[in-house]
Structure 1
């Protein structure tokens, strides 16, 4: 099985257990190091120290019987084997193990002893089935080697050195492994369970189910990932709901004009009318509904471009009061027709850096909205002021007003405070949604204050930069 095909849960376990095994292996290597470097070195140091104390008894001249007795006595009380050899060339015959050659001390080593230096010798003893280490110290007088003192001690095998500690090591190692296994298993489960749930929920999301949420149990990266996943699911859910609502609204908005067009065109085709005036009326209704569908499609495309920011905002400096004046000029005919007055209070010194055409669209839609929801003969106020490095545009009407619930939905697609009246006047319910998007692209804010029966105030707040 390939490593890439294993689950993340299995991979984490394998990695941790590999480290545990490496740690155990390193422990045994370290124990062997202690044996080689500390235990053997300690034996050699002990033999050297003991040999130097014994050789210090020797004064000079040939080996005496008295000196031999002292060596024999020391051998009887010492942990190591101590031998005195008169003829160094016959040392190998006196040793309790085979060394594989005729003489233990070769010519080069004999010269070493003649120089007053000691020798460290190690050999294998079959009888004891273990290695023996020893030290050879010269007995010199006037550069004459009268004999040597040989001390040796069997080395304990590493198994015997740690006879008492091995059960402890095995027991503690097993306990350590069980504890590590339990900790790793719990940590891996806590770490990867949210990820497994995210994988499962992702499949649900791909099928259109946005209801599942990953429980957030930690504040680490996995917890933040789960939080981000939940936010993404919520966002997708809202987006999907908006898409469904949008399609339902579009279908609803198109169904009415299409019904009118189909019905009146059928009446004209089948000559189902009483007079020419009635036929002309049908034709005008068809034209009106066609224009309404055209505005609806245009507004939909405009809103889609603004929301997806596909259209680049072309910013340039302009005098804001002039933009408002030019926009108001377009409403003079309808204002006169409905006997309405428009009062303005404009700061002519405000120069704004933004998209002229888009900001004119904002002002136009807000004034149009104010006219649509005002009674004939009423007035509208337009104000342009500068306060605290912010530009304020107030469009005030004294018409029907809106409830608090309606105010909350201002800027949503197809929302109308008075659906019957706005449909009659030809509104698409997208104008304020477009206004809101344009203002946001200029890093501004749209505020609404309204009271039923008293009117509505739309306030556009834009950041001001001195030119």
Structure 2
């Protein structure tokens, strides 16, 4: 496996573990917060249950202490009981006057202000502003939490315009998880280890097919078009229908197309090499004969010159077709549409093949018809006709018929031959480059790449090219162009 794949696997592993760790941290914080809120609510509920009892007892004791009046032994005993009660409940007492002012003394109500002054002051964590005097004067209980202290304030019966308030406090657990913390930590670490193991497994499973595809792509780039992901590693597939599987299938399909194209390219190069070698051999032979004086008679010299000229034109046409194919492939060509009579252009192109058809013993006909006005590039239209007629002459048995008509608002150029026809399974590929559909050997006419040029030109001119079988046998090629 290459380093890029390892880096991807490492990134996936780190990302998955980080996500798992983050989930654990969030869950732990959430659990701690929930536990603390629950602890605070429990403390408030407990204090709220205690407050009425404590306030009633203080109310009773306070009235008895006031009844004693002076600093008598009975009054001091009541103050001592009050102090013990407040210490036992962890509470304190403050008073609120009629104006809502909080007063931190109990001496105006009881003769015991010196008996434990800490009991008649607010707890250290609370301040005057923490108490809602309006609520307390209305006779309602106040409950709240400040930092780590839960408190409940319960008003007692108002005496002489002053309202004593019992304030009970309870510390809220700052470690809400308590003894469960180490257990939860151990459980979290175990879960993190399991998550890391699962992440490593998934990262390996996800990157294995990527590594296989990377290896296959490298082999294809190096020229091994037989390489396939299917044979490299199907064990790495996450599933038969997942995205990675589709990508692997696409790479295999691309390799199939490239391998097929290379086979066609080789066949094409062999064909072109043969087509180049044949005229070159004739030209070389006759040229050497003329140079050596072997061909001396005037009629033989004239015949040799004719052969050389004919084969040179054949070479010229082959080179021109190859250049046209290259231009069409790069779109480095232009169209110059002008108003024309399509029938006249087609007729001139067909007439140019009359000598070749006569030499081959094939009857070449242009079907009669009315003029067909249109707006098109006459040179490109003539090139389409020439390539279709060349292909028909190559396979026709006795005749080739060309027709141009207007049909359904379009111009149709039809070229019929009475040759062996094309198999149905191959008709869809006859216009592909480097593809030869007919297995029956044809005559040496044209370059063999004309149909690909026909298709490219037809599409460039806004039309299409098709081929269909004829009922009587043979093939009909049709080019449809905008009218």
Q: TM-score scaled to structure 2, two decimals? A: 0.70
In structure 2, distance between residues paired with 1:25 and 1:213: 45
1:47 match: 47
CA 1:113–1:373 in structure 2 vs 1: closer, same or farther (change >3 Å)? closer
Tell me the alpha carbon deviations over residues 343-387 of structure 1, each in whole angstroms, 9 at most, x when there is no partner.
444553755554332222222332344445557xx5543333455
- Report the CA distance between 1:461 and its aligned residue: 4.3
Q: Is residue 265 from structure 1 mapped to residue 291 from structure 2 by the alignment?
A: no
In structure 2, distance between residues paired with 1:365 and 1:111: 100
- Report the CA distance between 1:460 and its aligned residue: 0.6
In structure 1, distance between residues paired with 2:320 and 2:144: 103
Q: Is residue 393 from structure 1 mapped to residue 413 from structure 2 by the alignment?
A: yes
Q: Is residue 422 from structure 1 mapped to residue 425 from structure 2 by the alignment?
A: no
2:475 match: 457
Alignment: residue pair count: 436
1:28 match: 28
Q: Is residue 163 from structure 1 mapped to residue 179 from structure 2 by the alignment?
A: yes
Tell me the alpha carbon deviations over residues 43-94 of structure 1, each in whole angstroms, 9 at most, x when there is no partner.
1452244134311331454636579669968998xxx556899756664767
SS in 2 for 1:242: helix
Tell me the alpha carbon deviations over residues 127-177 of structure 1, each in whole angstroms, 9 at most, x when there is no partner.
xxxx887667786632569x9867555654526x5424753x346535643
Contact map agreement 1:385 1:393 (CA 8 A) in 2: yes
CA 1:103–1:153 in structure 2 vs 1: closer, same or farther (change >3 Å)? closer
1:355 match: 377
Q: Is residue 296 from structure 1 mapped to residue 318 from structure 2 by the alignment?
A: yes
CA 1:194–1:347 in structure 2 vs 1: closer, same or farther (change >3 Å)? farther
Any gaps of 5 or more consecutive residues in structure 2?
Answer: 66-74, 94-105, 231-236
Q: Is residue 173 from structure 1 mapped to residue 173 from structure 2 by the alignment?
A: no
Contact map agreement 2:454 2:465 (CA 8 A) in 1: no
Contact map agreement 1:389 1:463 (CA 8 A) in 2: no
- Report the CA distance between 1:297 and its aligned residue: 0.9
- Report the CA distance between 1:259 and its aligned residue: 2.9
SS in 2 for 1:383: strand
2:233 match: none
CA 1:113–1:186 in structure 2 vs 1: closer, same or farther (change >3 Å)? closer
Root mean square deviation, CA, Å: 4.8
1:98 match: none
Any gaps of 5 or more consecutive residues in structure 1?
Answer: 96-101, 124-130
Q: Is residue 434 from structure 1 mapped to residue 453 from structure 2 by the alignment?
A: yes
SS in 2 for 1:422: coil
Tell me the alpha carbon deviations over residues 20-41 of structure 1, each in whole angstroms, 9 at most, x when there is no partner.
2222222232233234433134
Q: TM-score scaled to structure 1, two decimals? A: 0.72
2:266 match: 244
In structure 2, distance between residues paired with 1:197 and 1:214: 6
CA 1:21–1:404 in structure 2 vs 1: closer, same or farther (change >3 Å)? closer
- Report the CA distance between 1:341 and its aligned residue: 5.3
1:365 match: 387
Contact map agreement 1:254 1:293 (CA 8 A) in 2: yes
SS in 1 for 2:467: strand
1:198 match: 213
Contact map agreement 1:446 1:461 (CA 8 A) in 2: yes
SS in 2 for 1:10: helix
Tell me the alpha carbon deviations over residues 416-466 of structure 1, each in whole angstroms, 9 at most, x when there is no partner.
96998733xx53223333223323434312204379xx863322142556x
SS in 1 for 2:18: helix
SS in 1 for 2:225: coil
CA 1:121–1:391 in structure 2 vs 1: closer, same or farther (change >3 Å)? closer
In structure 2, distance between residues paired with 1:460 and 1:113: 97
In structure 2, distance between residues paired with 1:207 and 1:172: 52
- Report the CA distance between 1:278 and its aligned residue: 3.7
- Report the CA distance between 1:281 and its aligned residue: 3.7
